[in-house]
Structure 1
Amino acid sequence: MPQAATTERFDRMRHWIAQRHNLAPSDVLLHLAAGDASFRRYFRLLLPNGSTRMIMDAPPLQEGNNTQRFVTIAQDWQQAGLPVPRLYIADQEAGFVELEDLGDTALQQHFVDADDPTTLTWHERAIALLDRLQTQASTVALPAYDAALLGRELDLFPEWCLERLLGIAPPNSWHELRQHLIDSALSQPRVAVHRDFDAMNLMVHDDTLHLIDFQDAVAGPLTYDLISLLRGRYCRFSASRYAIWVEAFRQRAIADSRLGDDIDTATFRRLADAMAAQRSLKVLGIFCRLTLRDHKTGYLARLPHFLAHLQDSLSPWPVCDNFRVWLADSFAPALDAELRFRGIIGGGTS
């Protein structure tokens, strides 16, 4: 958003707050708290009584109906007993929402490294919250995570990562893999899916995890949010640790009827890995789009991490061998060369 438009937007938000709290606009104390990969921004509001609120700014021109979706889901999930920020005021037409201030401690701030007991414990707590989300949240009002949406997400990889960043074509095996990943996702039981169940969207407040940034929630595959956490942007876990968590999740899902007892360990692992591959390909495409189209910095340096996740997800399954070989022989060297050319530390796939 241009600087003039940003300033105008900020002034409009200040007046919106002033009217609702009977303040003069000059007495509205706002400080930027966080940005977002989208056009959303978050500001901390200090009220005269010393309390604070969080203001979500979601410009309608760029964010469409995301404010309405956020409000609807927040109300539904709060009624379901899930830990989401309290809503105070929402102006869906203007794109402003006043929320409970959950502080500045996102889950990743408690991480040390992938093997540290503290990191593992917090992941266990996050998975327990995911169990609650899937068993308590209704899918009735959520849009479907259908084949069209899964396909659009996958197509971000050849468009933005291959063509626009690297200038290379997808391999002949791409279309077969693409369809395999869509079919696998659609074969899973449907639950409420946050769609970005990453540590950055789990806030630690009063020693409790809270869900934020859920406006893109859908009714979709059982494993999606699990692999968003376990193969997210902050940790790369060992194959054994990942397998333990996936199997424990399967057993709990069977026990509470989210999953049928005919899905054995190997089948569920294939479903989880295929879902993880789909998300890794999507993220690779999104991070390139954020860089090339939206001029946001820092995302290209994260590509090797998600390439490693993608390779981890494909390596156990012979059906993916052709694409996996192409990743190693063609894609990884091209990505490494591009990142080095751009002077980005972290080229390579480790």
Structure 2
Amino acid sequence: MDPRLQRALDRWELTGPQALAGDAGARQYFRVAHPQLGTALVVLHPLDAPGKTDDSYFEFRALQAYLDPLLRVPTIVSSDDADRCLLVEDLGDTTLERRLMEHPEEELAWAQKAGWLLTTLAGPLTLGAPGHTFFMSRSFDQPKFQFEWDYCRQNFFQDFLQKDPPRWLERMMDEVHASLETRAHFFVHRDFHVRNLMVHGDRLVAIDFQDARRGAATYDLASLRYDAYWDWSREAGRALVAPLQAELGWSHEALLEELNLSALQRSLKALGTFGHQLVHRKKAHFAPAVPRTLRHLRGHFQRMNHQDGVLASEHMLRLAEERLLKG
């Protein structure tokens, strides 16, 4: 047992630790029995490596404190800074994805709730964020976009599809990145999808927010509206879009113009992640997300009237399905 976990059990009188799958980061999660709460989660953040300071623990705590008054996030029950250890409320195992799968008739109601959360991110949380904070000082700029595009090129195109992206797409993404960089004025969650929203009672709770940064107003909307894990109905899609449009005061055309740019960049970024998880980490449960994301990509190009993009997306979809069938 990790000595830090043992100290947490002793310190907070916890028992029965069970390791949980956790997220894509280096954090470790354990569900434990708590004498007053019933159950809770122990979260172990990475410690400093030799010669390299890891600030993720303190950044998480700062972000949690900033978000908590306006956006429902997991409550920190206790903490130990020396061990980089948190005791956090247990929200259960019902993600929004699972809830929608079990109760599809509730989709519109949950879309309306999620739409309100999007207005909170782009509205009060953006207006109230001091410019000098670490999460507003890092942004979706050209170096960040280039890193994500390079990651997609390597992991999705070259490693998964085993081909290079078309040259016109390389040029197009340079233009998309340049446009989105000038729009990066808003607080964004950065990974806002149905697996990072927990259903707790009748409310949605946002998790995995530690990579929040400054980005385009439509970035989180693009993540959720064109989710890699859920296909929203047309009516639910409108319920996601309308509140943010009202919050921003933009015309429908202006919102859709930026949303297409954000969605194109976000979908390609996600494909890079899925390619890496499938090829290098052998995590087959990401497989269904690839065809869905490629269908989203085709839709982005259709809305942009970009015929080369539509044809390329259809070709990539056929290739991806062949790769997935081969295992």
TM category (shorter chain) comes to: 0.7 to 0.9
For the 8 Å contact 2:139–2:215, the answer to whether it is kept is: yes
2:302–2:310 CA contact under 8 A, matched in 1? yes
**Alignment correspondent of 1:74:** 64
2:309 to 319, 323, 330: 323
Deviation at residue 113 of structure 1 after TM alignment: 8.7
Q: Is the 8 A contact 2:228 2:290 kept in 1?
A: no
Q: In the superposition, relative to structure 1, how do residues 312 and 243 fare at CA in structure 2: closer, same or farther (>3 Å)? A: farther
Is the 8 Å Cα contact of residues 42 and 87 (structure 2) preserved in structure 1? yes
Distance 1:53 1:248, change over 3 A: closer
2:2 corresponds to which residue? 11
- Shift in Å at residue 189 of structure 1? 5.6
Q: In structure 2, how many angstroms separate the alpha carbons of the residues matched to 1:206 and 1:304?
A: 32
Shift of the 332–205 alpha-carbon distance from structure 1 to 2, 3 Å rule, reads closer
Cα 1:100–1:237, aligned 2, differ >3 Å: closer, same or farther?
A: closer
1:125 to 99, 113, 121: 113
Residues in 2 aligned to 1:38 and 1:49: alpha-carbon distance in whole angstroms: 29
Cα distance in 2, alignment partners of residues 173 and 57 from structure 1: 44
1:268 and 2:255 equivalent? Answer: yes
- After superposition, the CA RMSD in angstroms is 2.6
- The number of residues matched between the two structures is 317
- What SS does structure 2 have at the residue aligned with 1:199? coil
Bigger mean CA deviation after superposition, 129-138 or 143-152: 129-138
Q: CA deviation at 1:338?
A: 1.2
With normalisation by structure 1, the TM-score equals: 0.81
Separation in structure 1 between the aligned mates of residue 5 and residue 262 of structure 2, nearest angstrom: 42
What's the CA shift string for 1:226-278, capped at 9, x where partnerless? Answer: 12111113322356753564345212321xxxxxxxx4322320210111111
User: What is the SS of the residue equivalent to 2:32?
Assistant: strand
Q: From the superposition, tell whether residues 290 and 49 of structure 1 become closer, same or farther in structure 2 (CA, over 3 Å).
A: same
The answer (yes or no) to whether the contact 2:77–2:89 under 8 Å persists in 1 is: yes
Structure 1 residues 212 and 237, CA gap change in structure 2 (3 angstroms): closer
Return the match for 2:72 from 45, 64, 83: 83
Distance 2:16 2:268 in 1: 41
5+ residue gaps, structure 2: none
1:130-149 correspondence runs (5 A): 130-137=118-125, 138-139=128-129, 140=131, 141=133, 142=135, 143-149=138-144
Distance 1:239 1:209 in 2: 21
2:180–2:216 CA contact under 8 A, matched in 1 = yes
**Structure 1 regions of 5+ residues with no counterpart?**
1-9, 255-262, 343-350
Cα distance in structure 2, aligned partners of 1:239 and 1:131: 20
**Residues 145 and 101 from structure 1, CA distance in 2 versus in 1: closer, same or farther, beyond 3 angstroms?**
same
Alignment counterpart, residue 29 of structure 1, candidates 5, 13, 16: 16
- Residues of 1 paired with 2:36 and 2:233: CA distance? 49
Show the 5 A alignment for 1:1-350. 10-21=1-12, 23=13, 28-49=15-36, 51-60=38-47, 64-78=54-68, 80-91=69-80, 94-112=83-101, 116-137=104-125, 138-139=128-129, 140=131, 141=133, 142=135, 143-188=138-183, 190-238=185-233, 242=237, 245-254=240-249, 263-318=250-305, 320-329=306-315, 331-342=316-327
47-56 or 305-314, which moves further after superposition?
47-56
| Higher relative contact order (CA closer than 8 Å, sequence separation 6+) | 2
Tell me, in whole angstroms, the C-alpha distance in 2 between the residues paired with 1:109 and 1:163.
Answer: 32
Q: 1:212 to 1:129 in 2, by over 3 A?
A: same
TM-score (norm 2): 0.86
Displacement of 1:117: 4.2
Residue type matched to 2:61 in 1? Answer: V
User: Helix, strand or coil: the match of 2:232?
Assistant: coil
Identity of aligned residues (%): 26
State the Cα distance separating 1:49 from its structure 2 match. Answer: 4.1
